[in-house]
Amino acid sequence: MVFSSITFLYFFLPAVLILYLPAPKKIKNIVLLLAGLLFYSWGEPTYFWVMIASSLVDYAAGIFMNRTEKTGLRRFALIFSMVVDLGFLFVFKYSGFVVRVINSAFKTNIPEPDLPLPIGISFYTFQSMSYTIDVYLNKVKVQKNFISYLTYVSLFPQLVAGPIVRYNEVENEIDERTVNADGIGDGAVLFIKGLAKKVLIANNIGALWTQVKGMDFSEISVLTAWLGILAFTFQIYFDFSGYSDMARGLGKMLGFNFPVNFDHPYQSKSISEFWRRWHITLGTWFREYLYIPLGGNRKGMPRTCLNLAIVWILTGFWHGASFNFIFWGAFYGILIIIERLGFSKVLEKLPAALSNLYTFLMVMTGWAMFDLDTMKDFAGYVAAMFSGSRLYDSFALYQLSSFGIMFVVCIIASTDMWNRLCTAVSANEKAGKAVGFAVPAVSLVLLLLCTCYLVDASYNPFLYFRF
């Protein structure tokens, strides 16, 4: 069953809160665990057991490592748990891709596995692996209660699409957390903000990309091509950052403080800065558990470049079992290596507008590679961007007039312009009070608009659910 919308989550939340908030401290984790298992099984009933089995192995590995001081045995337990976790990930996400490559390379006819991708497997696998690795490194205390551990893995707010919450980030909140009115209020505002990003902005601007993506790229105009990829650039940002805000908001309402996953990435003045602001938890995971163990930047520039190449190719492969994702990761790896070799100093000397424009254009190009299925499609689309059949056409002008206001909204909402305005206004005591009263009112209006849209709309995908 494909997890096609957020409608279930939207209407599932009130029921969870009604049970969770008055529940005694001792059974709050049980309520959360049951909610997480119900939420996941609704979207993924067939491979529900994969998450349970992976969690059980990692929990047992943690217990075993805690009971022995022998380095060899501890290392064996860690390796065993990682083999199981990555084995599940390989079988369900990458086995079909590997078989296709082998058949193509060696002209064989090996049957291709027909296995649907379990929702969120990339996210909860990395999350669970962070626990066993940190237990092995003695960075966290072992979790002896399986209910508490499974609650951590199955936390429904961020279970299927992140952010990737490492165990050490919520270790103290698993069994000891504070649930109060302020947290519920702040969490509700953040949840509605994310919901509005997703439902009111991402869904609407994404409709333009859906149209353009389905066209013959050899026949579209230059303006059409640029409008299409610009639409997807904003769609994926508001889709994913919207879900991350929703997850963080739900977390606050439940007493958890999940890490920030986005920090206005389209304001970046270099590709390196962009990836410090985009999907922050994934970048942190790869840095902590792959880049630094490989040697990071401690072994000279050639080794640093090699480490970066490995990390970025695997980052691309993490996103999907397809060559376009691998090339997408390699694309960013090359850009970041070039910056590391000295181009970052050039960008620093450029006017901020130029360095920001360079970064944004590279990111847009990357998104075309990311979402188009083949490199042939990507090459055709890039060709249309720079040498389309004509400069513009009636379709492009119509779409520009139809989506012009939405593009303006996207530009403003993707920057920190609104935050800076609120900060400046709040500096004035009277104005600050007015803002304090306005936020709940605006949030309520947005909630009503989102509710109307969810009830009526049929187009409501979450792009990152497929990863």
Give the separation between CA 207 and CA 280, rounded to whole angstroms: 27
> What is residue 109's three-state secondary structure?
coil
Task: Please give the C-alpha separations between residue 130 and each of 17, 82, 257, 337, in angstroms, as whole numbers.
Answer: 28, 10, 17, 27
Q: Are 123 and 282 in contact (CB under 8 A)?
A: no
Give the separation between CA 100 and CA 94, rounded to whole angstroms: 10
Largest CA distance in the chain: 74
Q: Are 80 and 61 in contact (CB under 8 A)?
A: yes
Among residues 319, 331, 399, 463, which one is catalytic?
Answer: 319
What single string gives the DSSP state of each residue in 326-340? HHHHHHHHHHHHHII
What single string gives the DSSP state of each residue in 71-107? HHHHHHHHHHHHHHHHHHHIIIIIHHHHHHHHHHHH-
**Runs of H (alpha helix) within 255-374:** 271-277, 280-286, 292-294, 301-319, 323-338, 344-349, 352-371
Give the separation between CA 118 and CA 227, rounded to whole angstroms: 33
Give the separation between CA 251 and CA 258, rounded to whole angstroms: 6
- 241: nearest Cα among 256, 263, 258: 263
Q: Are 177 and 294 in contact (CB under 8 A)?
A: no
Give the separation between CA 152 and CA 140, rounded to whole angstroms: 14
Give the separation between CA 40 and CA 59, rounded to whole angstroms: 19
Question: On the CB side of 442, how many CA atoms lie within 13 Å of its CA?
Answer: 10
264 in active site: no
Question: On the CB side of 80, how many CA atoms lie within 13 Å of its CA?
Answer: 16
What residues act catalytically? 319
